[in-house]
Amino acid sequence: MKPVIVILVVIAVVGAGGWWALREFEARQAAQETAAADDTEVLDELNNIIWASGNLEPVTWAALNPLSPGLVTAIFVQQGDWVEAGDVLVALDDAVSRGAVEQAAAALAE
């Protein structure tokens, strides 16, 4: 009776080891298939890329019209920056405006 139990235990251990090995093999195979599917998806995405050359033009343009003339002495924004109404974009040389103020002051003094 004792040899039968030993044989059954050996068969059970070998069976459990075989079952575990089979599960590991299937898991690795599934992981490889998933990786291959991911690679195929990446290649499909690369095949959907359209290469072109050309010029980009904005949908809308905005014109800057200062209230007084003058040379631009400083620029406070860079190309592509987002700005809102009221933001200071540039500084103008105020020599012309100062000259007009001095003329008006001289006219009042007379």
| CA 49 to chain CA mean position, Å | 17
pTM: 0.37
Please report where in the chains the tokens 């007084």 appear, as a residue.
68
User: What pLDDT, on the 0 to 100 scale, is given for residue 43?
Assistant: 62
pLDDT tens track of the chain, all 110 residues?
A: 678 888 888 888 888 888 888 888 888 888 887 776 666 666 666 666 777 888 888 888 878 787 777 788 899 999 888 888 888 889 888 887 788 888 888 888 87
Residue 92: how many CB atoms within 10 A of its CB? Answer: 16
User: What pLDDT, on the 0 to 100 scale, is given for residue 42?
Assistant: 62
Q: Report d(CA 29, CA 26) in Å as an integer.
A: 5
* Count of all residues that appear for the chain in the document: 110
Q: Report d(CA 102, CA 94) in Å as an integer.
A: 12
Please report where in the chains the tokens 């069976």 appear, as a residue.
15
Across-strand partners of 92? Answer: 72
Domain ranges of the chain: 1-54, 72-109
